[in-house]
Amino acid sequence: MKYNIKITDKPLLNIEETAALYGIGEHKLRELTNLDDCTFVLYVGRKRLIKRKQFEDYIAKSFSI
């Protein structure tokens, strides 16, 4: 059974959802999550998930990405 959860209610987002919600390209998000000091990525096997709150904090502190 699939659950219908709004993207705005999810604490973890995949790369595609993050790109759509924040207007940042998927390629750029993959580059950012490849960095050793990336604090907002969570790997579940090979799947990358973005920790939404930490990502929003990162964006708020950043001048450019």
What are the E-state strand segments in 15-64? 41-44, 47-51
Q: Is the confidence at residue 16, as pLDDT, over 70? A: yes
What's this model's pTM, rounded to 2 decimal places? 0.86
pLDDT band at 3 (very low <50, low <70, confident <90, very high): confident
Q: What is the mean pLDDT of the chain?
A: 93
pLDDT digits (tens, 9 = 90+) for 20-49: 999 999 999 999 999 999 999 999 999 999
User: The CATH number of 7-61 is which of 1.10.600.10, 3.40.1350.10, 3.90.105.50, 3.30.1370.60?
Assistant: 3.90.105.50
Q: Is the confidence at residue 8, as pLDDT, over 90? A: no
Task: Indicate the domain borders of the chain.
Answer: 7-61
Q: 31: which residues sit within 8 A by CB, 6+ positions away?
A: none
pLDDT at 1: 66
